[in-house]
Amino acid sequence: FIHGPFRDTDAAALLRAYDARLVVMPNAVPDSFSYALSDAWAAGVPVLASPTGAIAERIRAHGGGWLLPAGFDAA
């Protein structure tokens, strides 16, 4: 789905409304805290993410998703 602009406070409700089952965050470079991860978790949606950066650290510490293998690529 392409939703378009929305208020930050609506993200979790939109994920639930679209019946999202998984959020994929395959960042190529390490990232910072990530409010998008918080939004996915607030909606009860697990996350598949890159194995580096803050998103990976949060998933390792709290669960709520899985990490791609090191050195992953599009293939």
A 10 A CB-CB count for 75 gives 3
Report the pLDDT value the prediction gives residue 7, as an integer from 0 to 100. Answer: 94
Give the pLDDT confidence score for residue 65 in this predicted structure. Answer: 97
Provide, rounded to the nearest whole percent, the portion of the chain with pLDDT above 70.
99
The pLDDT of residue 38 is 95
Whole-prediction pTM: 0.87
What are the CA-CA distances from residue 42 to residues 13, 28, 71 (Å)?
9, 24, 29
**Positions of the chain with pLDDT lower than 70, given as ranges:** none
Provide the pLDDT for residue 19: 96
pLDDT value of position 20: 95
Closest CA to 67 of 49, 53, 44, 41: 49
Q: How far apart are the C-alpha atoms of 57 and 4, rounded to whole Å?
A: 29
